[in-house]
Amino acid sequence: MELKSIKGIGERMALRIINEFGGEKEFMEAALNYEVDRLAQIDGVSQRRAVEIVNEVLGNPSKEFLKTGRAVQIYEDIIKRILEHTNTDYARNRVLLLSPNKEIERIQENLQMVLAAKESARKLPCRELRNLLKKVTPLENPRPLLDTGKAILVESRTDYQNLTDRGLNRYLSILTLEEVEGIHEYELVVYAYNEGLLELDDAPNLAMVPVDAEDSELVPGMVLFYYAYNRDTIENASKLREMLGWSSTLKDVMRILDSIESGQVDEKSFNQSVKDAQEHADQKMKEAIKKVDLSGDEVLDLLNNGMPHKIQEILNKVLKEARQEISQKTGLSFDPFLTRYPLEVDEEELERVRKQEMGRQHLKAFENQITAAKELSLLKEKIEKEVREVLEFDYQFALGSFAHEYDLHPPSLGEGFSFKEAIHLDLVGVNNIQRINYQLQHPDNVVLLTGANSGGKTTLLESLAQISILTHMGMPVPAKDAEVQLIDELYFFSKKRSLDAGAFESFLQNFVPVVTHETDKLILFDELEAITELEAAVKIISSFMDLIRDSGSHAVIVTHLAQEILKYTQVRVDGIEASGLDEEYNLIVDRTPRMDYLARSTPELILKRVYEKSDGKLKDIYGKMLEKF
C-alpha cells in the first residue's frame, strides 16, 4: 500500500508523515506496530484521523462487516465499555483499532490472549497497576534544547562546519579561536581538538576531547536529555515490571540517572557553606569578646597599634574553626576571610577558588556523563522494548479486565447461533436478571419472534448482535456457552415509523439488495412491519424471509403479525410471553423464547397495570376498556 492510496492523504500530509517517520516504508512498519500516538503528533492529523489511517493500513474490515447504523452503534458501545478499562493512550488507540474480522487464526489467537489476560486481571493488584500505568507513556524523542552554560571550542572553520553538520550546535554553542577569550563565561567548555594548537592550562572549566570522537563523547547531553525527558515513564515502567515479576534493565537506567543527578555541580551548596561558616564565626566572636577583660595598657595598645593579642588569639581560633567547617562541607582547604571583625569575605579569593572548584566539579560531572551516555546508548533498544511491553500489557490488561468484569466466556465456532445463559451487557451485575437460552440454526435459519411488549425481544436481538460482534473481534462473550457462526455481514434494522408511499419505495430499495448479496449474513429485524397497509407489510416480510432462508443466511424478525405472515410462508415462530403482573404491577415474563410457540402480546396486561395505578375518572375509563377484554 502507498501513502497516497490512503483516503484523505494528500501530498502535503504524505510529506509530513514521511518526514516524521523517515520514509514511507518506515511509516507502514510503524502503522503495523499500531503507533497511532506518533502519527497523531503530526500537525494536521487528529487522534481520530490517525486511528482511521492506521485502520486502513491494517485492513480492518469494520465497514464491510457492520452494515447498518444500529450494528455500528452496538459495536461502538462494546468499544466504549472496553475503553473504560484502559489507562494509557497506547491502549486506548489499540482498542479503537479492534475490529470484527473473519480470520479464524487471528480470532482464536486474540481470544486466547484475552482469556489469559482475564485470568491475570482476576489475580493482580489492579488498583496499584492502574495507578502506575496512568504514568506510562510512549518514549519520546524530545526536541533539542540548547544548554547555554556549556560550549564547544574548535580550532578551525572546517571543524566548526563538521560539528554543525553533525547537529551538535542544537545542543551547545560552538566557539571558534576568535572567541577563545570568552570561554571563562561558561561553566564548561569542551575543547574539540584536532591538532591541539591551544594551550589553556589555566582554564579550570576546560575538557579536551578529540574532534572526531563520538557525538555522545562531545555532547553526552544528546543521549542523557532523552532519558531525563522520559524519566517518569522509565521509573513507573520499572516499578510495574517489578510488580509483574518481569525481568528488566530499567532499574539499571534509574541507577545511572540517579548517579548523574547526585554528581551534579552544586554551586549553591558551595556558596551556602561559606556563608554559614561566616555567620557561625561572627556569632562565636561576639560571644567570646563579651568574656574578654582588657587592662588599661591593652586598651591603650588597641588605640595605638590595633587589635590586642587576646582578641587576635580569639579571632585566629574562630577563623581556624571556620576554615575547618568549610573544608568539612566542601572538601576544600582555603581561607576566604579577611582578618578583621566583623568577618569580611575576600571576594577575589573566593571567586578564584569558586571558579577552580566549579570547573573541577563540571569536569568530573562531564566525565561521568560521558560514561553514563555510553552505558545508556547500549541499553536503548532494550529500554524501548521493555516500555513497549508495558504499554502492550495495558492493552491486554484492559481486555482482560473487561472480560473479567462482564464475566465473559469463550465461544466456539460452528454452524448457526446457539447460546445458553446469555445476558445483555447492559444487564450484567443487575440483581435477579434472567439469563437467556436461544438458538438459530439450520433448518430454522430464519425465525419470527413474537410476544410481550417490554418482554425483551429487542434485548434478545441486541444480545445476539453483541455475541456475534465480540466473537468476530476475538473476544469472549456474555454467555456461559455459545456456538457462533462466522459471517460476512451483520445487519440490524431498528423500529421504523409508519412508511408513506415515498418512504416505502426507499424501504424496498434498501432491503431487497440485502437479501440478494451472495454473502453469509446475520439479519436482525426489530418490528419493521409499519407499512401503511397491513396486507402489504405481511406479503413483503414473508417474501424477505423466503429470500433469506434460501440464501442460507440467518435472520430473526420481531413481529406482531406472525399469524398473518404464516399464511404466506412456513417458518419457525418463537415466543416471549408475559404470564401476568407481580405485586407491584410489573410484567412477569419468561425472557427465554419458547421455540415453535406463538406468544400473545400484552395490551391487556399493560392496560390492567395502568388501571391499577390510576384513580378517579381515569380509573373508570380504563376499567370499561378492560371489560371489553
Average of per-residue pLDDT across 508-525: 83
Tell me which long-range contacts 161-169 makes (C-beta under 8 A, separation of at least 24).
Answer: 162/211, 163/192, 163/211, 163/218, 166/215, 167/215, 168/215, 168/218, 168/219, 168/222
Burial class (CB in 10 A: 0-12, 13-18, 19+), 431: exposed
Q: Is the peptide bond before 342 cis (omega within 30 degrees of 0)?
A: yes
Share of the chain above pLDDT 90, in %: 44
Quote the cell numbers at residue 327.
Answer: 573544608
Average of per-residue pLDDT across 113-133: 94
Tens of pLDDT, residue by residue over 529-569, are 555 567 777 888 888 889 888 888 999 999 888 888 999 99
Tens of pLDDT, residue by residue over 130-178, are 999 999 998 988 888 899 989 999 999 999 999 999 999 999 999 988 8
Contact criterion met (CB below 8 Å) for 221 and 377? no
Tens of pLDDT, residue by residue over 239-269, are 999 999 999 999 999 999 998 876 665 567 7
DSSP 298-316: HHHHHHHHSS-HHHHHHHH
Each domain of the chain, given as residue ranges in start order, spans 278-345, 412-628
Radius of gyration for the alpha carbons in the chain, expressed in angstroms and rounded: 40
Average of per-residue pLDDT across 500-513: 68
Q: What is the pLDDT of residue 303?
A: 45
State yes or no: pLDDT of 279 exceeds 90: no
412-628: CATH number:
3.40.50.300
- With bands split at pLDDT 50, 70 and 90, how would you rate the model's confidence at 301? low
State yes or no: pLDDT of 492 exceeds 90: yes
Tell me which long-range contacts 354-359 makes (C-beta under 8 A, separation of at least 24).
Answer: 354/267, 354/270, 354/271, 355/184, 355/204, 355/205, 356/204, 357/270, 357/330, 357/332, 358/187, 358/204, 358/205, 358/265, 358/267, 358/270, 359/188, 359/203, 359/204, 359/205, 359/206
123 Cα distance to chain centroid = 22
DSSP 370-404: HHHHHHHHHHHHHHHHHHHHHHHHHHHHHHHHHHH
State yes or no: pLDDT of 77 exceeds 90: yes
State yes or no: pLDDT of 600 exceeds 70: no
Global pTM? Answer: 0.81
Q: What is the pLDDT of residue 54?
A: 87
432 Cα distance to chain centroid = 36
**H helix and E strand count, the chain:** 24, 17
Burial code of 593-624, b = ≥16 C-beta within 10 A, e = fewer?
A: beeeeebebbeebbbbbebeeeeeeeeeebee
In the three-class reduction of DSSP (H, G, I as helix; E, B as strand; rest coil), residue 516 is classed as helix
Higher pLDDT, 74 or 177: 74
Q: Is the peptide bond before 443 cis (omega within 30 degrees of 0)?
A: yes
In the three-class reduction of DSSP (H, G, I as helix; E, B as strand; rest coil), residue 480 is classed as strand
Average of per-residue pLDDT across 111-127: 95
